[in-house]
Chains A and B, each alone.
Chain A
């Protein structure tokens, strides 16, 4: 039965405000009423959230339920978003005097309110995947959820293919068992693989995708500065003056950057430039929550002219007042760029406006490629990941906390969670054993098991403490080792421990827009003082580097290989590429260009190999490792390598001639594993898995070193396990995460296949123009920080430019 819309209270509310329905809102209502689960795919803005809630509101109005029960569960990846959506939803509900209770529940919700929500639930509850998992681990979960009618998952595209998504999928699978008849609605931004997201959402036969293509393509341009575009670096500070005039003209602008270091630097430089006293703020994940909230509030009130932000503002909340979005640095992915651009003019009928500011010449090409990709509707695909076993371990304990379970039944249920559909029974059993007592071949911990079989042959928790502990350690997001930044008694935010470790007393650095002087470290955190210095001594700290997506990478390559479009580029870029085509050759779309040339490094002659694979930094880094291993074997004496998003550069003592066998497909996978075992990445992933799986508890990390009762250093555990229990669950998880994550083994494999017989080899006498940025990068990474100053870099740059004949 299709509900009558004319007399619908929401219709009245819309009309009163001079609005009307979008077609997809009506479609969603119709299809959901017919009993379909729905994935609504739409660009940012345009009433996606209302569309998601329409079926639930309508059901509540029409059925006039008498009992008090949880009717609709809304899950969003962001706490802030739950609050925002609740606020927006309450407007029509209050306006039309609908008797519907809407509440949020997150980690920030006061304890008393949480307790009340359990005994007397609101009809609509807005929450996060973690809080949902917590509710599901409750003893009364079945009573609580059994009558649920709607599950709405917002920004679902950000959750899939992540450990958070794994946890959510497991809990949805279990919810399917507790509640029989409810409708699922997923809300997503534009994505490549919609079917996959739909399957993640629903295992029902009746399910549908409602797809609204964007009518207005955003207007994206590259900012042209009066200064020349640098050859290397990412900070884009050359553009500050031009950037400032743009934000001066705009009503309210948001500047997105890729790293926190960039955010701090751009923010700092804008302030130095701030002649008109614009109100400029900075927003990134390291800042204290209070400080971030303040910025967000000021934004929604329109009290700020410009905010410099990292991905911390990528998602969610609507700020309609923003009329200009600026992306500083390469966009790295089309979908992410679109999401960011979507922050401006948050309505469907007007095109968004955005400016891109490349940090260097390769990034200029990347920006151009991204604009092309938007025109051609190319979207990034996701690397599909299968469900992680550390998350499964957490879930198994959660289920036991809620209710004793039968092993076979739980296995069957877990397999209905989309990421776990291929889960082997052996892996499930190993995970279950791990939860029971650590899963060691020495059955030493059996008498301390957290869960064990009860008289019905079901697995149950041994005591209540297990449940209490479980609740304190839930979640799949593991913070890196962070230290609090303390200015006298005030906490400014958190900073990576490794960054601080490199500082000496008196060093100055940028944080939260201030130049701070490092004093010392204590149990309380990093103590700093304000300083009058305008230029920080330690220029930046990295972190949050994004890998280039393969779609965008291939778009960049396509662009370079198109000679005819050279003329439309700015002079500097055009000259560079034309020179490349004269001195060497331009990369071709279906081939991989490899150049070799001799050049002195310091006072010694070295041989360089540059491979322009355009596969992203992580792939190049792994490739670099494997190729230099092979070079060692050929006695070519490799000395080092540097990887960027676009290419890999290796240098050696001896000349490389047999390129083909060097890039032969039969990669030394055993070499890779051996190398991987000792990488910090593997140890980091192991640490994360130890925490997620519950091997060690979540506590404030980083502050433990000063205490003698030291918490477990997971590196020690890692070493011991590797030696005695090589097949342990957590080692498996860490290895898989490392291979699939940063190392991108998948992409590497594809690259090696592609590269066979398609190498475009150029043996050169001198450095090529395209290699100049790489040589600069080599210098940045290999020269001692004390010697590395701007003057030196400039000298070196000029030297290289003379060599390629660039005046």
Chain B
């Protein structure tokens, strides 16, 4: 298992883009966007309504490999404020069984403030000198966040492949999106620029393996 050090803490990196914080028995995951598929229905686009179930089953399966008690969700766990109303019964049951199994710690994202009635969401949560927040603030506070769905494109055997990645800078860790129907944003996009003034590491998570690239590695490869 690949590990990373951040703010004097050690995290295991699961190849699906999830961080495992063994010391606190906690998993950290971001941007599930549950019920994104069904959010299009009112505009007459009937995307198959199975994405949330897929996402939750996958999460359950991955987490069963670890000894954890809590999950920190870094925001945009639900795609919008009506997500729960649209969720089919099967998916609701799955969600319920997960909340029974683990303690859910919800950070609020841009669209999902206090969706689960019984579990209020935090704007920011501080643990061991680390802030957990949806969108990282450009400064030197140590923050673990999501929001941007970072991806990295590298050239492999003459072909360009794009994969989700965890982005690590001096003071930030930005996690990729976990949800089935979520897309990604290349870390070459100018939106990431303010965060990347100094060097950075990118951990490609292709669901099977984790590959670490430093910004100097990437200068040679990515363009």
Q: Which of B147-191 contact A (CB under 8 A)?
A: 148-149, 155, 157-160, 162, 180-186, 189
Given the interface contacts A438-B48, A502-B159, A717-B47, does A712 sit within 8 Å of B181 by beta carbon?
A: yes
Contacts of A704 in B (CB 8 A): 183
Contacts of B40 in A (CB 8 A): 712
Q: Which residue of chain A lies nearest to B51 when distances are taken between CB atoms in the complex?
A: A720
Q: Which residue of chain A lies nearest to B147 when distances are taken between CB atoms in the complex?
A: A708
Given the interface contacts A501-B160, A504-B155, A716-B180, does A444 sit within 8 Å of B44 by beta carbon?
A: no
Instruction: Say yes or no for A60: interface residue by CB 8 A criterion.
Output: no
Residues B149 and A720 in contact, CB atoms below 8 Å apart: no
* CA A793 to CA B90, docked complex, whole Å: 60
Instruction: Say yes or no for B223: interface residue by CB 8 A criterion.
Output: yes
Instruction: Say yes or no for A442: interface residue by CB 8 A criterion.
Output: yes
* CA A469 to CA B186, docked complex, whole Å: 31
Given the interface contacts A501-B160, A712-B181, A784-B158, does A520 sit within 8 Å of B223 by beta carbon?
A: yes
Contact of A708 among B48, B51, B54, B149 (CB under 8 A): B149
* CA A705 to CA B185, docked complex, whole Å: 7
Instruction: Say yes or no for B88: interface residue by CB 8 A criterion.
Output: yes
Contacts of B182 in A (CB 8 A): 710
Distance (whole angstroms) from the CB of B34 to the closest CB of chain A: 14
Given the interface contacts A705-B186, A716-B180, A720-B180, does A501 sit within 8 Å of B159 by beta carbon?
A: yes
| Interface of B (DSSP majority class) | loop
Q: Which residue of chain B lies nearest to A450 when distances are taken between CB atoms in the complex?
A: B44
Q: Which residue of chain A lies nearest to B177 when distances are taken between CB atoms in the complex?
A: A708
Contact of B186 among A444, A706, A785, A786 (CB under 8 A): A706
Instruction: Say yes or no for A445: interface residue by CB 8 A criterion.
Output: yes
Residues A469 and B44 in contact, CB atoms below 8 Å apart: yes
Contact of B88 among A442, A694, A695 (CB under 8 A): A442
Q: Which of B17-71 contact A (CB under 8 A)?
A: 37-38, 40-51, 54
Distance (whole angstroms) from the CB of A499 to the closest CB of chain B: 11
Instruction: Say yes or no for A625: interface residue by CB 8 A criterion.
Output: no
Contact of B46 among A438, A504, A785 (CB under 8 A): A438
Given the interface contacts A437-B46, A504-B155, does A710 sit within 8 Å of B183 by beta carbon?
A: yes
Q: What is the interface size of chain B, counting residues whose CB is below 8 A from a CB of the partner?
A: 35
Q: Which of A683-704 contact B (CB under 8 A)?
A: 694-697, 704
* CA A103 to CA B208, docked complex, whole Å: 61
Instruction: Say yes or no for B86: interface residue by CB 8 A criterion.
Output: yes
Q: Which residue of chain B lies nearest to A706 when distances are taken between CB atoms in the complex?
A: B189
| Interface of A (DSSP majority class) | loop
Contacts of A469 in B (CB 8 A): 43-44
Residues B149 and A724 in contact, CB atoms below 8 Å apart: no
Residues B54 and A695 in contact, CB atoms below 8 Å apart: no
Contacts of A720 in B (CB 8 A): 37, 48, 50-51, 54, 180
Contacts of B223 in A (CB 8 A): 504-505, 520
Q: Which residue of chain B lies nearest to A448 when distances are taken between CB atoms in the complex?
A: B41
Contacts of B160 in A (CB 8 A): 501-502
Q: Which of A437, A445, A786 has the most CB of B within 10 A?
A: A445
Contact of A445 among B38, B50, B54, B155 (CB under 8 A): B38
Residues B181 and A708 in contact, CB atoms below 8 Å apart: no
Residues B158 and A697 in contact, CB atoms below 8 Å apart: no
Residues B183 and A440 in contact, CB atoms below 8 Å apart: no
Q: Which of A762-791 contact B (CB under 8 A)?
A: 784-786
Interface residues on A, range: 35 or more
Q: Which of B179-223 contact A (CB under 8 A)?
A: 180-186, 189, 223
Distance (whole angstroms) from the CB of B101 to the closest CB of chain A: 23
Q: Which residue of chain A lies nearest to B223 when distances are taken between CB atoms in the complex?
A: A505
* CA A406 to CA B160, docked complex, whole Å: 51
Instruction: Say yes or no for A723: interface residue by CB 8 A criterion.
Output: yes
Contact with B along A549-564 (1 / 0, CB 8 A): 0000000000000000
* CA A30 to CA B149, docked complex, whole Å: 69
Contacts of B186 in A (CB 8 A): 705-706
Contacts of B184 in A (CB 8 A): 705, 710
Instruction: Say yes or no for A721: interface residue by CB 8 A criterion.
Output: yes
Residues B181 and A716 in contact, CB atoms below 8 Å apart: yes
* CA A786 to CA B158, docked complex, whole Å: 9
Given the interface contacts A505-B223, A706-B189, does A725 sit within 8 Å of B48 by beta carbon?
A: yes
* CA A683 to CA B195, docked complex, whole Å: 37
Contact of B44 among A448, A716, A724, A725 (CB under 8 A): A448
Distance (whole angstroms) from the CB of B85 to the closest CB of chain A: 11
Q: Which of A462-512 contact B (CB under 8 A)?
A: 465-466, 469, 501-502, 504-505
Q: Which residue of chain A lies nearest to B160 when distances are taken between CB atoms in the complex?
A: A501
Distance (whole angstroms) from the CB of A723 to the closest CB of chain B: 7
Residues A723 and B183 in contact, CB atoms below 8 Å apart: no
* CA A786 to CA B90, docked complex, whole Å: 52
Q: Which of B41, B42, B44, B182 has the most CB of A within 10 A?
A: B44
Instruction: Say yes or no for A713: interface residue by CB 8 A criterion.
Output: yes
* CA A520 to CA B41, docked complex, whole Å: 36
Residues B148 and A695 in contact, CB atoms below 8 Å apart: no
Residues B47 and A712 in contact, CB atoms below 8 Å apart: yes
| Other 4 A-B pairs with CB < 8 A, given A710-B184, A720-B48 | A448-B42, A708-B148, A720-B54, A786-B158
Taking beta carbons and an 8 Å cutoff, which residues of A are in contact with B? 437-440, 442, 444-445, 448, 450, 465-466, 469, 501-502, 504-505, 520, 694-697, 704-708, 710, 712-713, 716-717, 720-721, 723-725, 728, 784-786
28 A-B pairs within 8 Å (CB atoms) are namely A437-B46, A440-B46, A440-B48, A440-B49, A442-B90, A444-B38, A444-B86, A445-B38, A445-B49, A448-B42, A465-B44, A502-B158, A502-B160, A695-B47, A697-B45, A705-B183, A705-B184, A705-B186, A708-B183, A710-B183, A713-B181, A713-B183, A717-B48, A720-B48, A720-B50, A723-B50, A724-B50, A725-B48
